[in-house]
Chain A
């Protein structure tokens, strides 16, 4: 009805969504006019921190834990910092795209490159996201199992948190709830301190990118590629651009948007490195972690070395990783579907006006939760499929990102310059090649000599 009236040029009362966004913008403008930079950043922070901490999800934290248990402190510490720098370069482009076009990533692909790529982006993202959500609920279930919480209770609680967070129909409230939960990603830091890390070894690793026990092997390459996959994934591109738009950010907010993304990358890298460090005792005591299947295995194995509280922090961190990722990933699916179908898609919208948006988010979470609870469900196959989908399909997502970030007709003066194209292009090529290699190695492990 609104759309018909708008098309006819009729003046309309502002929608709930517009009113709420205008209220948020008024606070931002007041903070800027009052020269209150910290308050201004507090108001504008969110998409960048959430996307980075959201990607520190269940499978990613397990990947970092495996890295620590198999390789100790060494090459992977600076390598993880590098991957988050790459993530910053990629995600910063989405901030500029969102601000300049006021459109989500899926919407831009659809409009600029046509329905084939638009529907492909949406389907690829939606299917990949639902499968990824399954792995998030596996993490929630595994973390809760350490505390003796039954799987149905843990999974139902996870669904309840995700659904409750959107039920306020307010972007700002959802974002603050997600940010509050995401701070628990830093639980890995005190857990790491309980492992009494050798700080000299950490400094040495940062300076020399060594040691690398065992040298370059198939296992090393797989873990290297998995750690890249744990830092840059397609849903991040779609989520952050849509969140920037939903938040109503303008060109004046670009410095805060960049700082938000950089802060997120820094905090997430600290949590990721902490997850590596906390598992170093397993490496030092030659505990075979290669067969560990989840957070419970790691927490139980760590207990003799970092104590009960440390192991409990690790398990809680795994639950947080799953819950926050479930919130952000389900929202990215909902945004993408709304953008491509051209239906209302905002966390500020009412349920009635944005039914497909809210239903997509809720249904994707419920499907994932149900799958996790099905006895003998092929969870291992799903986890492998998630890795392969995310890594293989990262290449198209990154190519479209670079194309759009250079599309001066839509992004104008915020388009990539020569430097950002060289840096971004190199990173995109590297991530795409590594992603494709990871996908192929996962499918054909015998291609690489053991």
Chain B
């Protein structure tokens, strides 16, 4: 139940398609994080 399940589920077996999708997501995240930092810094400089 919600109080932490005693038996963790096994890791999902990842086929080539799913592996590729997860790598694409990793690349997306790597690109997205600097964008967030840039947006914050840029807004900081724009603040009155």
Residues on A facing B (Cβ under 8 Å): 3, 6-7, 15, 17-18, 21, 101-104, 107-108, 111-114, 117, 120, 242, 245-246, 248, 335, 338-339, 342-346, 349, 353-354, 378, 380-382, 384-385, 388-389, 392-393, 395-396, 399, 403, 407, 409-410, 439-440, 442-443
Contacts and interface: CB of A to CB of B under 8 A. Distances in A.
B3 A17 contact: yes
Contacts of B42: 443
Contacts of A246: 2
Interface residues of B, number: 28
A296 B44 CA distance: 23
Given A112-B12, A392-B36, A443-B38, A345 B2 contact: yes
A357 to B, nearest CB: 10
Contacts of A242: 2
Q: Is the interface of A mostly helix, strand, loop or mixed?
A: helix
19 contacts: A3-B6, A17-B1, A18-B1, A102-B1, A102-B5, A113-B11, A113-B22, A117-B22, A245-B1, A246-B2, A342-B4, A381-B47, A384-B40, A384-B43, A439-B32, A440-B35, A442-B39, A443-B38, A443-B42
Contacts of A409: 9, 12
A388 B37 CA distance: 10
B8 A111 contact: yes
A248 B3 CA distance: 11
A439 B46 contact: no
B4 to A, nearest CB: 5
Interface in B6-43: 6, 8-12, 18, 21-22, 25, 28-29, 32, 35-36, 38-40, 42-43
Contact of B46 (A113, A354, A380): A380
A120 B9 CA distance: 18
A399 B27 CA distance: 14
Contact of A385 (B12, B29, B39): B39
